[in-house]
């Protein structure tokens, strides 16, 4: 009997030794839920991308590729037909088929707490044709459907149907390369390889995500080898990471643009005495020229940001190669101000969050000192995000610093949300908190929204941006944030543009 146990133990140890590779990842924040439709928030999406899969997904440069859909074609004017992959199993052993797709789209669209409704609000109807064919009809031509569908992670209809939301928020069942093992909130999320995965087995047999929210702790854990990968290295610790013989350092240009917007919708604006100076395009252009962005990137971001001359970085569809950021020119800026009738500048308050973007409050301070040189006296009002966002939403601001990331990889995200005239009914311009409005631009944005032909569409997107940026200066781009990572030297890690920690691609 004892021999038997010894043997058994030995076997177990061998078995675990053969393919036991555990990857430990230190994350700057914890997941919020194990329900993929609850919050559209990067850290949660990032971790869940290992458990759940959609019909489509992004590669590291935001190109769409088929995952649970095998192929698709456009069959009617606004109807797409998707052929589903056969032989895919959920982690509980159930087969993946058209019923699950129908259930998932229905839940993400209609569940009260869904944070992803905007991803599917253009979908009018979705029907099962047979067990492995689904048709999706959109409200109009909808070129970016494939991108939006990457957010619709597939849930098992049989499993989910009779469970309540609180249970599903703790017990995820997907089709992804890794299965859920345990989630100790604030401490660890443990996953193990899915033995029945439809592609080749993942390289790592186990994955542990550890939320290490304190920057110094996260860096220390990487330096001591307790975790293999960390995200969001604070800029002041980059040198230590680079000097370490055990770690590789990665810098991945991100999607998030940090920009300024000003009140362009009212004759008088709350934080400037007299008439609203921002209504004059020359004032807006003067501010653009009068901000020494290179110095902000160098001194405040320590070089870990990219000066921006457009709404989106180059990886995003709709980028315009011909638009460059003009060089800092305080003399020219002063001239423009004088022409606009403000030879001595004016006074204004700049609202900025202080815990949302990298060094957000310091950037605002630097802008204030930059603009003081062209005569504009800027008072910085830095607020916690919980106060800042509602304040700007109420339009209780004249001039503010904010950020946007076109996470779909398509510039329509920025144009719809910030450039288009505010339109509550049609769902445009929710973040257009400066109330910029140009009918010609609106028309181009709307045309781009219903054009399937990529080349024609690109033309509309580029033209809309050109007018809104170069001619109208509707917002003032500052820089794109950069994601900083460190990983152990023995790990093949490639950062992704969407910042997901997709372990299946790591070795």
Partner 1 sequence: MSVISFIVFFIMYKAGDPVELLLPPDATHQEVVQMRAYLGLDKPFTTQYAIFVKNALKGDIGNSYIYGQPAVDIVLERFPATLELAFLAMFFSIILGIPMGVIASVKPKSILSRSIMFFSLAGISIPVFWTGMVFVLICSVYLGVLPSSGRGEVLFFTSAFTWDGIKHLIMPVITLTLFQLALIIRLTRTGMMEVLMQDYIKLAKAKGLPNRVVIYYHALKNTLIPVITVIGIQFGQLIAFTIVTETIFAWPGTGKLIIDSIQNLDRPIVVAYLLMVSFIFVIINFMVDVIYTFVDPRVRVK
Which residues contact partner 1 by CB under 8 A?
32-33, 35, 38-41, 112-113, 115-118, 121, 165-166, 169-170, 184-188, 210-214, 216-217, 220-221, 223-226, 355, 384-387, 389-390, 393, 404, 407, 413, 416-417, 424, 427, 430-431
- Nearest to residue 272, comparing CAs of 364, 371, 382, 397? 397
Q: With respect to partner 1, which residue has the nearer C-beta, 213 or 295?
A: 213
CB of 195 to partner 1, least distance (A): 26
What whole-number distance in Å separates Cα of residue 313 and Cα of residue 315?
6
Residue whose CB is less far from partner 1, 288 or 428: 428
Element (H, E) at 136: strand 133-138
Return all residues near 112 (Cβ < 8 A) that are at least 6 apart.
Answer: none
DSSP string, 67-134: SSEEEEEE-SSSEEEEEEPTT-B-TTSPBP-HHHHHHHHHHHHH-TT-S-HHHHTTEEEEEEEETTEE
- Residue number, 341 or 390, with CB nearest to partner 1: 390
CA distances from 65 to 149, 356, 425 (A): 11, 31, 33
Nearer to partner 1, 423 or 463 (CB): 423
- Residue number with CB closer to partner 1 (309 or 417): 417
- Smallest separation, CB 154 to partner 1 (Å): 20
Helix (H) or strand (E) holding 383: strand 377-383
Rounded CA separation 81/70 (Å): 11
Shortest Å distance, C-beta 73 to partner 1: 27
- CB 185, min distance to partner 1, A: 7
* Euclidean distance between CA atoms 303 and 240, whole angstroms: 15
Cβ 467 to partner 1, closest distance in Å? Answer: 22
- Comparing CB distances to partner 1, the nearer of 239 and 295 is 239
Say which residues have a Cβ less than 8 Å from residue 265's Cβ, sequence separation at least 6.
395, 422, 434, 435, 436, 437
By C-beta, is 148 or 282 nearer to partner 1? 148
Strand-pair category, 247-262 with 475-488: antiparallel
Q: Are 492 and 310 in contact (CB under 8 A)?
A: no
Using CA of residue 157, residue 163, residue 168, residue 170, what is the dihedral sign? negative
In the bound complex, what is the minimum distance in angstroms from residue 190's beta carbon to partner 1?
Answer: 12
Q: Specify the residue, 79 or 215, whose C-beta has the smaller distance to partner 1.
A: 215
Residues in the chain: 507
End-to-end CA distance of the chain: 41
Q: Using the minimum distance from each CB to partner 1, give the nearer residue, 116 or 485.
A: 116
Helix axes 330-339, 281-290, angle to 10 degrees: 160
CA 4/CA 31 separation, integer angstroms? 43
DSSP track, 386-454: HHHHHHHHTT--SEEEEEEE-TTSBTHHHIIIIISPPBTTTTB-TT-TT----HHHHHHHHHHHT---H
> In angstroms, rounded to a whole number, what is the distance separating the alpha carbons of residues 363 and 351?
11
Decide whether 212 or 469 has the Cβ nearer to partner 1.
Answer: 212
Closest to 261 measured CA to CA, from 464, 447, 437, 387: 437
Exposed/middle/buried for residue 507 (C-beta within 10 Å: 0-12, 13-18, 19+): middle
Give me the least distance between CB of 430 and partner 1, in Å please: 6
Nearer Cβ to partner 1, position 97 or 413? 413
> Of the two residues 197 and 388, which places its CB atom closer to partner 1 in the complex?
388
């Amino acid at each position: 009997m004892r021999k038997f146990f010894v043997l058994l133990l030995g076997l177990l140890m061998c078995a675990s030794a053969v393919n036991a590779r555990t990857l430990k990842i230190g994350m700057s924040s914890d997941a919020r839920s194990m329900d993929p439709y609850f919050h559209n928030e990067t850290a949660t999406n990032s971790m869940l991308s290992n458990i759940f899969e959609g019909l489509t997904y992004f590669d590291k440069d935001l190109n769409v590729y088929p995952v649970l859909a095998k192929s698709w074609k456009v069959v009617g004017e606004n109807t797409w037909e998707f052929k589903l992959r056969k032989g895919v199993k959920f982690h509980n052993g159930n087969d993946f088929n058209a019923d699950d797709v129908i259930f998932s789209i229905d839940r993400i669209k209609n569940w009260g707490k869904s944070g992803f409704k905007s991803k599917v609000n253009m979908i009018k109807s979705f029907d099962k044709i047979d067990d492995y064919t689904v048709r999706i009809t959109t409200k109009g031509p909808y070129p970016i459907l494939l991108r939006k569908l990457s957010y619709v992670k597939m849930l098992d209809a049989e499993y989910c149907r009779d469970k309540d939301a609180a249970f599903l928020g703790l017990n995820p069942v997907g089709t992804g390369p890794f299965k859920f093992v345990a989630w100790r909130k604030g401490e660890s999320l443990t996953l193990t390889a899915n033995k029945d995965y439809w592609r080749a087995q993942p390289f790592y047999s186990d994955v542990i995500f550890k939320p290490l929210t304190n920057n110094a702790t996260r860096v220390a854990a990487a330096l001591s080898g307790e975790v293999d990968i960390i995200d969001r290295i604070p800029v002041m610790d980059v040198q230590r990471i680079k000097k370490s013989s055990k770690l590789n350092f990665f810098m991945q240009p991100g999607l998030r643009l940090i920009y300024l917007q000003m009140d362009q919708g009212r004759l008088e604006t709350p934080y400037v005495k007299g008439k609203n100076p921002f209504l004059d395009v020359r004032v807006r252009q003067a501010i653009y020229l009068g901000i020494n962005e290179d110095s902000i990137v160098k001194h405040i971001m320590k070089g870990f940001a990219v000066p921006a001359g457009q709404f989106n970085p180059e990886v995003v569809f709709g980028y315009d190669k011909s638009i460059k950021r003009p060089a800092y020119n305080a003399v020219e800026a002063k001239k423009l101000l004088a022409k606009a009738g403000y030879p001595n500048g004016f006074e204004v308050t700049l609202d900025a969050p202080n815990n949302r973007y990298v060094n957000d409050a310091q950037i605002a301070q630097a802008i204030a000192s930059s603009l003081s040189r062209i005569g504009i006296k800027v008072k910085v009002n830095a607020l916690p995000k919980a106060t800042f966002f509602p304040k700007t939403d109420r339009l209780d601001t004249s001039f503010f610093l904010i950020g946007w990331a076109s996470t779909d990889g398509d510039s329509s995200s920025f144009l719809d949300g910030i450039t288009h005239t505010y339109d509550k009914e049609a769902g445009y311009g929710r973040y257009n908190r400066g109330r910029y409005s140009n009918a010609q631009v609106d028309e181009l944005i709307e045309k781009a929204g219903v054009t399937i032909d990529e080349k024609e569409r690109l033309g509309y997107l580029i033209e809309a941006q050109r007018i809104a940026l170069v001619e109208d200066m509707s917002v003032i781009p500052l820089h794109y944030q950069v994601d900083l990572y460190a990983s152990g030297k023995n790990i093949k890690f490639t950062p992704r543009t969407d910042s997901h920690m997709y372990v299946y691609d790591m070795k």
